[in-house]
Chains A and B, each alone.
Chain A
């Protein structure tokens, strides 16, 4: 078996390289999910980068190209054309540590999240559950609520990510 290449932090300067126009808009006309990312002191993290991967409303995980569609002449990112559901989103937190994602309800009930940040040497996976799921019952007592988004009003969900400390988000391991 090949030995994996180690991770390294995304650092502070990815902002002009990785985010792309429309990265927060997997689809319109569906739901909005938003929240903050906090550190162990409870302070918002203004230089985190979140990636989202999810099933479409029918539950398909096939995805589609075109998340960062580019103009073949200028190379400029023109973004999604709104027809294909790519299932992929990428959102940097703003100066207040806040992020917003617009998408459709995934058929399997959750949105996968990969968290990157300056100071985080190896990314972290978590999930946004939009409704109760048996998986949440398998989690350590009292921690399942960290994966369940709160519906603030119809179609608007709140999901905060706490990297450390009080109410620390459940992070997932798929490697073993």
Chain B
């Protein structure tokens, strides 16, 4: 029996009606079929140890990135196809403190919705001038900035006629390993939001909104690029002794 979008819509609605309003995705969110066998059934074990190694975390520096890494449109001889954009924002901890000098990595599909990955067999064109990988370090105010092109939505095989809304994958480090975050940034007004079980796995609508960037006209550059702003808040505690040194 073919699993249709209507089936998935119904499952999402049922779960949203009963599940607690959660700020992170439910790991057990069956409308996203791949989650079914890939989430623990036992409760997580809380760790309260003030000496826990996870209250500190990996450090990165200028040796780990080059300035060119933040411009995804200049990694090849020619210019990539698509709508040139900039994405910038600040990375903060739960107390609003900037996360300084930390590594931000992004990856994304090209303007046609295709990844240069062997297992992506979506019949959309690859762009020889676009790989879709970037990285940078946050500055003293916790700011990051990337120049790229707007990724296209793409089909996947979760159910019949499943499409992912356009998104950029983000990987972010805080000052503590507990603050580690891998997530996806979406674009405002995307009509695919309600159909996407990955986004809808976040049951609190206000939390889902925090995954959507804002178009910011002041960040757009005349005759050149459109600007989006997306701030990121990292969850999880950090060791207090680390704050001074960073």
Contact = CB atoms under 8 A, between A and B. Distances in A.
B25 interface: yes
Interface stretch (A28-36, A51-59, A149-157): A51-59
Nearest to A84: B63
Interface in A39-74: 39-41, 43, 45, 51, 53-55, 61-72
A66 B64 CA distance: 6
A55 B69 CA distance: 29
Nearest to A66: B63
A110 B93 CA distance: 26
Q: Give the interface residue-count category, chain A.
A: 35 or more
B201 interface: yes
Nearest to B204: A6
A123 B53 contact: no
A120 B64 contact: no
A3 B40 contact: no
Q: Give the interface residue-count category, chain B.
A: 35 or more
Interface stretch (B2-10, B11-19, B207-215): B207-215
B139 interface: no
A66 B61 contact: yes
Contacts, number: 238
Provide the main secondary structure of the chain A interface: loop
Contact of A17 (B40, B51, B133, B207): B133
Nearest to A87: B58
A164 B40 contact: yes
B210 A13 contact: no
A53 B53 contact: yes
Interface of B: 23-27, 29, 32, 34-42, 44-47, 49, 51-66, 68-69, 92-96, 105-107, 109, 115-117, 119-120, 131-133, 169, 171, 177-178, 180-184, 198-199, 201-202, 206-208, 210-211, 232-237
Interface of A: 1-18, 39-41, 43, 45, 51, 53-55, 61-72, 75, 86-88, 106, 108, 110, 112, 114, 116-125, 135, 139-140, 143, 163-165, 168-176
Nearest 7 A/B pairs, CB to CB: A65-B61, A119-B34, A17-B107, A4-B235, A88-B58, A121-B25, A119-B38
